[in-house]
A and B are shown apart, each in its own frame.
Chain A
Amino acid sequence: MLRIENLVMQYKTGDQALKNVNLEVPNGQVMALIGPSGAGKSTLIRCVNRLVEPTSGNIHLGGIQLNKLGTRELRKARRRMGMIFQEYALVERLSVMENVLSGRLGYVGFWRSFFRKFPQKDIDEAFRLLERVGLDHMADKRADELSGGQRQRVGICRALIQDPELLLVDEPTASLDPKTSRQIMRLICELCEERHLAAIINIHDVLLAQMFARRIVGLQLGEIVYDGPPDGLTSDVLTQIYGEEDWEATIQKVEEEENGSEEQPAV
């Protein structure tokens, strides 16, 4: 279970990205974090694996207090948190296989990784994961030869091969077309269910969040302003999160899609 207590993040410029955030994510729960740009969604998940150092507050994962760890322990703890990025963040000039295996870097020593001598079970697992996301025939392709959706699948494999208990997902669909976005979101949610993973999915697309997550947390200017089920996102709530707009169309479209779509969301 991930527990965040009184998390504050203040940038050097004085901007408070996060103001006293309290959040609990139980094991196996897929949670969507919505909010406008600049609300602090990315900062929040980056504080969890400390790509960004929080100013104050406590973060616990399982029995470990993440914000107190030294460099070596932090590396070990990061293995338990897989991260998926907005622009995929694959190493473009490495092969698909190397990108997937880079998820094991926390487990193998430098020279083994330098000479690409990963343990056979890691390689087998990489092939299994690539097969699971439908890319096993692409293993030797270079990452920059892939399309956006394919790259994000590789990103998912890289996160999963870490054997994590928590996924930190940062705008996984922001650079994808609507259909691929749905496929990627469905894949992430299915994999979380298969592997009983908890996930925090940053997403600014309210529709997608409602389709795929059972719990929605709304962040606005560094504060949690909504925490509840997807159908609790009324016009008033959305106004509170994003500001004044005509939300009726958004809410209606969700209902239509949920009733009329042949793609059953894997919630």
Chain B
Amino acid sequence: MFVDDAHRQAADLAERMVPPKWSYMEKLWMPIWDTLNIATLGTALAIIMAFPIAFCAARNTTPSKIFVRPIALFIIVSSRSINSLIWALMLVTLIGPGVMAGVIAIGLRSIGFCAKLLYEAIEEIDPSQVEAITATGASGAQKLSYGIVPQILPAFAGISVFRWDINIRESTVLGLVGAGGIGLQLDASISTLAWTQVSMILLVILGTVIVSEWISAKIRHAII
């Protein structure tokens, strides 16, 4: 059985991983910067696309419950059901390896998440505030910007930061399939059995995630 010597293998691997190769850090600054960019730009892309989709999916704002809403819900479900690694795999074959594929993969994956939480927030708004704006003779667009958007803004900001936080973690592995970022180095180091480099990379990822969690907690605290 393979399990029998698992503890020995683990001890062996751990031994080969320490100490981390600190000097490798100078080659990691650029990839980690790419990873941050993939997460941030991908989140931005997702938010821009999710905003109109959420309004189409919310029962109280959708232009048509019979045609538009099912389409919006379908987009949300399909985006959520495909993992970002799979999106990246497909995009790398479509547009070639690199950061761009990563950004789009993260974006497509996050649309569903953002749109779903956002449309739930839209459905929970206080309708009397919208009614009051309607009663002044406001147009449809004005009702949106004065009656609805102020009510969902905190949720909107919270969702964006939350998703950005998740995307930092997701984008660290995108390089495994060639979609840019620190995952590329991770893949290369594992295949060359450079375990001290692997441990260095894992430390950097850990550090990045801790920092991003701290930032998103700060931002959410400031907004809500």
Contacts and interface: CB of A to CB of B under 8 A. Distances in A.
B150 A93 contact: yes
Contacts of B151: 91-93
A78 B137 contact: yes
A89 B139 contact: no
A211 B154 CA distance: 43
Interface string A89-129: 11111100010001111110010011000000000000000
Given A51-B131, A91-B146, A91-B147, A106 B141 contact: no
Contacts of B147: 91
* Interface footprint category on A: 20 to 34
Instruction: Among B136, B146, B151, find the residue whose CB has the most chain A CB atoms closer than 10 A.
Output: B136
Interface in B117-149: 126, 128-129, 131-139, 141-142, 145-147
Contact of B138 (A94, A105, A155): A105
Instruction: Among A77, A94, A107, A162, find the residue whose CB has the most chain B CB atoms closer than 10 A.
Output: A94
B166 interface: no
Contact of A91 (B133, B134, B137, B139): B133
B136 A158 contact: yes
B153 interface: yes
A212 interface: no
Given A91-B151, A92-B129, A103 B145 contact: no
A83 interface: yes
A247 to B, nearest CB: 32
B137 A94 contact: no
B132 A158 contact: yes
A51 B146 contact: no
B45 to A, nearest CB: 23
Contacts of A81: 135
A171 to B, nearest CB: 12
B132 A114 contact: no
Given A49-B135, A83-B135, A158-B136, A89 B129 contact: yes
Interface string A187-215: 00000000000000000000000000000
A106 B128 contact: no
Contact of B150 (A82, A83, A94): A94
Contacts of A91: 129, 132-133, 146-147, 150-151
Nearest to A168: B135
A105 B137 contact: yes
A102 B138 contact: yes
A149 B106 CA distance: 49
Given A91-B150, A92-B151, A85 B128 contact: yes
A125 to B, nearest CB: 14
B133 A102 contact: yes
Contacts of A78: 134-137
Nearest to A108: B142
A41 interface: no
A158 B134 CA distance: 12
A104 B131 CA distance: 15
A68 interface: no
B176 to A, nearest CB: 43
Interface in B164-196: none
A78 B143 CA distance: 14
A75 B132 contact: no
Interface string B183-220: 00000000000000000000000000000000000000
Nearest to B135: A83
B129 A106 contact: no
A132 interface: no
B136 A105 contact: yes
B155 to A, nearest CB: 11
Contacts of B145: 110, 113-114
B139 A110 contact: yes
Interface of A: 49, 51, 75-79, 81-83, 85, 87, 89-94, 98, 102-107, 110, 113-114, 155, 158, 162, 168
Given A93-B154, A102-B132, A105-B138, 14 more contacts: A49-B135, A51-B135, A78-B135, A78-B137, A83-B136, A85-B128, A87-B128, A91-B146, A92-B150, A98-B146, A102-B133, A105-B133, A105-B139, A110-B141
18 contacts: A51-B131, A51-B135, A75-B137, A75-B138, A78-B135, A79-B136, A79-B137, A87-B128, A90-B129, A90-B132, A91-B129, A102-B132, A105-B133, A106-B136, A110-B141, A113-B142, A113-B145, A168-B135
Which 5 pairs between the two chains have the least Cβ-Cβ distance?
A106-B137, A105-B138, A89-B132, A78-B137, A83-B135
